[in-house]
Amino acid sequence: MCGIIGYSGPRKTSPLLLEGLRRLEYRGYDSAGIAVGREGRSDNSLGIVKAVGKIAALKAAMPADLDGAWGIGHTRWATHGGVTLANAHPHTDCSGKIAVVHNGIIENHMSLKAMLEKKGCVFVSETDTEVIPQLIAHYYKGNLLEAVRAAVQSLRGTYGIACIHADEPGRIVGARNGSPLVVGVGAGEMFLASDVTAMVAYTNKVVYLNDGEIVDITQDSYSIIDRDENRVDKKVDEVTWELGSIEKGDFPCYMEKEIFEQPESIARAISGRLDVENSTAKLGGLNLERRHLSGIGRVRIIAAGTSWHAGLVGAHLLEHVARIPAQSELASEIRYRNPVVERDSLWFTVSQSGETADSLYAMREIQRKGATVLGICNVVGSTIARESDGGIYVHSGPEIAVASTKAFTSQLAAFYLFTLLVARMKDMSRDEGISFLSTLQSVPDLVRRTLAQRDKVQAMAKKYHKAKDFLFLGRGILYPIALEGALKLKEISYIHAEGCSAGEMKHGPIALVSPEVPSVFLVSDDYLREKTISNIREIKARGGPVIAVGVEGDDETKSLVDDFIPVPKSDSRFYPFTMVIPLQLFAYFCALELGRDVDQPRNLAKSVTVE
């Protein structure tokens, strides 16, 4: 949440900061602002401009002559204080010489504020952030690095900050605790940002900061110190993302692009990871010995939102196929529960961004208790990816739309690979392995064929988008897909939707059924099909409209429901990949019909880096 960028170098600073913020907008879009240093002016003052709303509003507010030689920028997802100009970042000290942008929450800001007010500081915003520049000013004696170092010792909570001082040309000081910060190393220019998308147009050389580290940046150099003030020499990583992968291309929005990229993104997740000869999977990044893998007594998965739904599918599959007890739990719940960590359990943290605060803190807590935690992440170099004990990168490519789509199906691919690997170490025969593996190989094509239902789903969205409530129902491995369908619809169309196990329907949700409340059923062709069809009949008997996503050729279901979207017939264990596609498209087209901002829905941010 909140995007940060800093730049020191010869390019025009204001347009560069604006462009970086445009790329970071998915991290928050309540307000935005920049501060640039303007050496040479008689008063050496900082140039600051802010606007409520999106980056376009900031661009419109930007004076033509506002430029400087170095600067910082911020796009905000409000936590403390309303969405107002006064609360927009950057925030400054009373003199206006120090400017700070911040991502995170300063938990002790009230006591710091009281202390600073006693010393004569005047506060102009309702934010927790404003104590930071005031505190830095309190310690400032001509050296910004020294002042930031002193100030952060008093801060409790989470922060990724970038700070500048009007009298220290070209210098940016950044500090990290709990919120991501990355240094971009250019030739004769340096960047600092909350994630690499902000600077990938200029450099692919990056250095990831760890918690407790402070970086001192000038146009030509950067140096990092840790909590104990020791100098830290860090590896410079190379980002392999192409600039084109963070552009919309010919698509009207990122979500549509990302939905239609899924055949390729799933293929990338699988690529090079299948051992056809031995009908198993190869997952080099797990960092686990064969003995450890074959002795796993239980798998526990922690995640949030869509990633949690992928974990639910993974848990079902591991139990069903590999015969390993498995559970997927909400990171925000488990982290405060003091969970029992059994010695033979293997844990996974699933996260597209690799920065979700709840998932990260839950992972650290589980690691503290001695367990091995693997990451299933998309963003290379993200905090969860770096701090986990090993894992699987899903290689979806940058996912920019707030609603996760392609990362979800790639997370599924990671679980299918892992299941194949461990199942083959247990009871799965070579023949069963071959069948599982070849279905997995066919998934990109199955998804491509399902995407061909685009126009049919769009017509369905035109028919149903005025409904105020929806039920999404599935059983077994499709129950998490029902949850995911409901989440997608809620988050981008703002239509209320509930995902339920079809088996639970009669225990309460059926009371909602009426001619105004459509139900979306996921109908497999496995041992649960008949049960699901009975549930459909129960809804129809009560006058509820029913949409079914089912298997092509299932004429019985088709004749029973109001609208039917077929997916290609396959091994029923793989229907999560295909059946989620019409639900993603349905949410997308309903949102379009309702005129919603599909990529940046209200109140949300892509990566939830605060609790």
Which residues are annotated as catalytic?
2, 606
Minimum distance from CB of 492 to ligand AGP (Å)?
8
Pick 377 or 560: Cβ nearer ligand AGP: 377
Burial label, 320 (beta-carbon count in 10 A; 0-12, 13-18, 19+): middle
Pick 113 or 596: Cβ nearer ligand AGP: 596
Nearest to 354 by CA among 394, 328, 381, 389: 381
Contact between residue 379 and residue 195 where contact means Cβ atoms under 8 Å apart: yes
Q: Is 79 a residue that touches ligand AGP (CB under 6 A)?
A: no
Is the backbone of residue 90 left (phi > 0), alpha (psi -120 to 50) or beta? beta
Show the tokens assigned to 10: 């010869």
Task: Determine the Cα–Cα distance for residues 264 and 261; give it in Å rounded to an integer.
Answer: 6
Nearest to 606 by CA among 106, 177, 75: 75
Minimum distance from CB of 402 to ligand AGP (Å)?
5
Task: Determine the Cα–Cα distance for residues 566 and 39; give it in Å rounded to an integer.
Answer: 64
Pick 52 or 610: Cβ nearer ligand AGP: 610
Quick one: which segment of 40-48, 113-121, 279-287, 304-312 binds ligand AGP (CB under 6 A)? 304-312
Pick 403 or 414: Cβ nearer ligand AGP: 403
DSSP letter assigned to residue 392: E
Q: Is 13 a residue that touches ligand AGP (CB under 6 A)?
A: no
Quick one: which segment of 17-25, 71-79, 399-407, 412-420 binds ligand AGP (CB under 6 A)? 399-407
Quick one: which segment of 46-54, 91-99, 303-311, 518-526 binds ligand AGP (CB under 6 A)? 303-311
Handedness of CA 435, 437, 442, 446 (dihedral sign): positive
Q: Is 304 a residue that touches ligand AGP (CB under 6 A)?
A: yes
Handedness of CA 299, 302, 307, 313 (dihedral sign): positive
- Cα torsion at 183, 184, 187, 188 (round to 10°)? -50
Minimum distance from CB of 366 to ligand AGP (Å)?
16
Pick 16 or 580: Cβ nearer ligand AGP: 580
Q: Of residues 75, 197, 219, 306, which one binds ligand AGP by CB under 6 A?
A: 306
Using CB under 6 A as the binding criterion, the count of chain residues that bind ligand AGP stands at 15
One symbol per residue from 337 to 376: x for binding ligand AGP (CB under 6 A), - otherwise; what is it?
Answer: --------------xxx--x--x-----------------
Q: Is 491 a residue that touches ligand AGP (CB under 6 A)?
A: yes
Pick 328 or 359: Cβ nearer ligand AGP: 359
Beta bridge partners of 192: 6, 183
Minimum distance from CB of 161 to ligand AGP (Å)?
22
Angle between helices 406-425 and 575-593 (to 10 degrees): 170
Pick 70 or 415: Cβ nearer ligand AGP: 415
Minimum distance from CB of 178 to ligand AGP (Å)?
15
DSSP letter assigned to residue 157: B
Handedness of CA 176, 179, 183, 189 (dihedral sign): negative
Task: Determine the Cα–Cα distance for residues 194 and 354; give it in Å rounded to an integer.
Answer: 13
Minimum distance from CB of 406 to ligand AGP (Å)?
11
Pick 516 or 611: Cβ nearer ligand AGP: 611
Burial label, 585 (beta-carbon count in 10 A; 0-12, 13-18, 19+): buried
Contact between residue 200 and residue 397 where contact means Cβ atoms under 8 Å apart: no
Q: Of residues 16, 131, 505, 608, which one binds ligand AGP by CB under 6 A?
A: 608
Pick 30 or 130: Cβ nearer ligand AGP: 30
Other beta carbons within 10 angstroms of residue 394's beta carbon come to 27
Other beta carbons within 10 angstroms of residue 141's beta carbon come to 7
Minimum distance from CB of 24 to ligand AGP (Å)?
15
Angle between helices 109-118 and 131-139 (to 10 degrees): 50
Q: Of residues 90, 305, 485, 544, which one binds ligand AGP by CB under 6 A?
A: 305
Contact between residue 51 and residue 60 where contact means Cβ atoms under 8 Å apart: yes
Taking CB positions, which residue lies at the least distance from ligand AGP?
305
Pick 179 or 356: Cβ nearer ligand AGP: 356
Residues 461-490 that bind ligand AGP (CB under 6 A): none
Minimum distance from CB of 399 to ligand AGP (Å)?
9
Task: Determine the Cα–Cα distance for residues 319 and 296; give it in Å rounded to an integer.
Answer: 12
Minimum distance from CB of 26 to ligand AGP (Å)?
10
Task: Determine the Cα–Cα distance for residues 464 and 474; give it in Å rounded to an integer.
Answer: 20
Quick one: which segment of 71-79, 119-127, 192-200, 300-308 binds ligand AGP (CB under 6 A)? 300-308
Residues 6+ apart with CB under 8 A from 572: 477, 524, 525, 526
Q: Is 24 a residue that touches ligand AGP (CB under 6 A)?
A: no
Q: Of residues 179, 219, 404, 409, which one binds ligand AGP by CB under 6 A?
A: 404
The one-letter amino acid code at 336 reads Y
Q: Is 403 a residue that touches ligand AGP (CB under 6 A)?
A: yes
Contact between residue 579 and residue 481 where contact means Cβ atoms under 8 Å apart: yes
Show the tokens assigned to 108: 């002790």
Minimum distance from CB of 102 to ligand AGP (Å)?
20
Q: Of residues 402, 461, 477, 502, which one binds ligand AGP by CB under 6 A?
A: 402
Pick 92 or 404: Cβ nearer ligand AGP: 404
Q: Is 535 a residue that touches ligand AGP (CB under 6 A)?
A: no
The one-letter amino acid code at 421 reads L
Show the tokens assigned to 426: 């247990």
Minimum distance from CB of 293 to ligand AGP (Å)?
25
One symbol per residue from 505 to 524: x for binding ligand AGP (CB under 6 A), - otherwise; what is it?
Answer: --------------------
User: Taking CA 362 as the corner, what is the angle to CA 359 and CA 368, rounded to the nearest 5 degrees?
Assistant: 140
Which helix (H) or strand (E) element contains residue 267? helix 262-270
The SS3 assignment for 14 reads helix
Q: Of residues 409, 419, 493, 607, which one binds ligand AGP by CB under 6 A?
A: 607
Which stretches of the chain bind ligand AGP, using CB under 6 A?
304-307, 351-353, 356, 359, 402-404, 491, 607-608
